[in-house]
Structure 1
């Protein structure tokens, strides 16, 4: 089980929720379940409006799923992902700090998800 803590200047206080290990809900779907206001437009990884910053509570246990091709392309276009970060993700299984909420699935790690509340804005 993962604990996902959402933080944003648009929220009165941070909110921590459980993500069931093995569940394939994205961070965006989890946020919707708990009425957490992450902006989104397409739900498909193309627009970048659901940009989030992910911090791992224990950096040694990063287990997030791989970047999708759409996510890589969109994050590169937004200037949030470098070639070095892509290589580190693909070769060393080290996910980058910026992700798209519609693509990112927390697995068995505790994370903090930061977002501005504005489309395409991570804290």
Structure 2
């Protein structure tokens, strides 16, 4: 089970949703289902409009790592959301919080904070 918390200056309060184990929903699908004002243009990872900051809540001191898919990595780099060092790396530390594409980020069994 995962708890996903969405934060945005345009929201009156944070929005928290519990996801059942094994869910493969993307952050974008969850945001749409909750009618959150998360911008998106293509919904396929080609534009970078849905970039969000993802903060893992299970290890807030940066003990985790992330592997980005090539499409997500390319789009985030082109949008200036990843440095050259991050782009050139196979594995990235998840702290400080990474930019991720909401349309590509599939929710796993982990508690995260999503800022957009």
Identify the TM-score tier after normalising by the shorter chain. 0.7 to 0.9
CA shift, 1:63, in A, is: 7.5
Contact 1:62–1:109 (CA<8 Å) still a contact in 2? no
Across the aligned residues of Structure 1 and Structure 2, the Cα RMSD in angstroms comes to 2.1
Q: TM-score, normalised by structure 1?
A: 0.79
What 5-or-longer segments of structure 2 have no aligned partner? none
- What secondary structure does 1:52 align onto? strand
Point out the structure with the larger helix share. Answer: 1
1:102 aligns with 2:103: yes
- What secondary structure does 1:16 align onto? strand
CA shift, 1:79, in A, is: 1.1
Runs (4+) of structure 1 moved beyond 3 Å? 60-64, 93-96
Point out the structure with the larger strand share. Answer: 2
What 5-or-longer segments of structure 1 have no aligned partner? 116-123
The count of residues paired between Structure 1 and Structure 2 equals 112
In structure 2, what is the Cα distance between the partners aligned to 1:63 and 1:19? Answer: 22
Q: TM-score, normalised by structure 2?
A: 0.83
